[in-house]
A and B are shown apart, each in its own frame.
Chain A
């Protein structure tokens, strides 16, 4: 979730709706608390009256061309994990934010905040990872910055990337474009990244053959736009907070409802097993290589075929649809008729024993 700057002057402090006395981990988890922070503190001070709902990237118009601008910070621990590392996340994360804004990624800036004492080999490995990921994603790293902070800070290193891309003129993605009857498409299995990280931290002592799904989703998005650009109404990459949070944002911003079919949502066995063991919901777990798209019903078949035709998109599926009611709510329906509300994440997903 990013803050888009709009015109008008900043709101006075008395108008700030954000009243928490201190900042906590929940405010960065991507769920309700994060949203409150952005809407209640950042937006009023940075943008005045909010003209658009918060999206993954800001769009600027330059001589008739629409550009998408986005930035993201990466604070993952451990730095290296099965399937990738912080460097790859940093590239793919920003590339994906541009992709789901229907923008072809053009260039990245990369900044490092490095903890004093970290081995040069560690930094080199991440720079290589960034170079490789950028090459695979077809995007250039054109600049950046580096700072070093004292030992004990930065968990090894923090990486921030900022990216710019050219928005596809054939499409206009916004919550306001979404209509009842629109189909919800998900590019592949969920939960891989978040569970991989959880296990890689070593606190739990669960072992599984799992890898982060970090990758650029742009090839799939490109194929989707080629097949159905005018019919793609909304896209998002379900990172922190998972599919549940992304779709809840859609429901709230569009004031419509989303009904999901539980069985259509693909979850790898190991992710499911870990989630059952820990009492977590895969819908709340972060993904780094998937995207959601909402498409007009007439184009759904072509859209799905387009995404599936891309290597890595074979598991794409239609997982639900947009409805008028229940408004602002995401529901999941099971095959036997039971329905439940899928809520936005509150704070970090905490394993439970009860």
Chain B
């Protein structure tokens, strides 16, 4: 149900809806019928499952997510810093 791998479209074949996708140097023909309305082409990254492209991978979405993940640590650093401040505590 869940094994789906990101791959990059290398070329659209003459035998549409087949496209050639590459994963880490391995090439495979994949059916892109489910994404044709989105308009996909060489260079796009897609999620592959049982020989079909299920979804287009959003580079922006991935970067946004990485930014949020990086911030997880930053929030705490900011908090640690604030807690270190001495706002005129009672002696």
Contact = CB atoms under 8 A, between A and B. Distances in A.
Contact of A208 (B3, B5, B27): B27
| Interface residue range, chain B | 10 to 19
A342 interface: no
Interface in A243-299: 269-270, 272-274, 276-277, 279
Given A353-B49, A353-B50, A279 B3 contact: yes
Contact of A354 (B3, B23, B24, B27): B3
B84 to A, nearest CB: 27
Contacts of A61: none
Nearest to B48: A277
A125 B50 CA distance: 38
B50 A207 contact: no
Contacts of B5: 276-277
B88 interface: no
B29 interface: yes
Given A353-B49, A353-B50, A273 B3 contact: no
Given A277-B23, A353-B49, A207 B28 contact: yes
B25 interface: yes
A209 B26 CA distance: 8
Q: A208, A272, A277, A279 — which one has the most chain B CB atoms within 10 A of its CB?
A: A277
A205 B23 contact: no
B79 interface: no
B1 interface: yes
Contacts of A209: 25
A352 interface: yes
A206 interface: yes
B29 A208 contact: no
A273 B25 contact: yes
Contacts, number: 40
Contacts of B3: 279, 352-354
B78 interface: no
Given A277-B5, A354-B1, A354-B3, A206 B49 contact: no
B25 A269 contact: yes
Interface string B1-39: 111010000000000000000011111110000000000
A274 B26 CA distance: 6
B61 to A, nearest CB: 20
B24 A276 contact: yes
Interface of B: 1-3, 5, 23-29, 48-50
Interface of A: 205-209, 269-270, 272-274, 276-277, 279, 352-354
30 contacts: A205-B28, A206-B27, A206-B28, A207-B26, A207-B27, A207-B28, A208-B25, A208-B26, A208-B27, A269-B24, A269-B25, A270-B24, A270-B25, A270-B26, A273-B23, A273-B24, A273-B25, A273-B26, A274-B26, A276-B23, A277-B5, A277-B23, A277-B26, A277-B28, A277-B48, A353-B1, A353-B3, A354-B1, A354-B2, A354-B3
Given A206-B27, A209-B25, A273-B24, 11 more contacts: A205-B28, A205-B29, A208-B27, A272-B24, A273-B25, A274-B26, A276-B23, A277-B48, A353-B1, A353-B50, A354-B2
- The list of the 4 closest CB pairs from A to B, nearest first, reads A273-B24, A273-B26, A270-B25, A273-B23
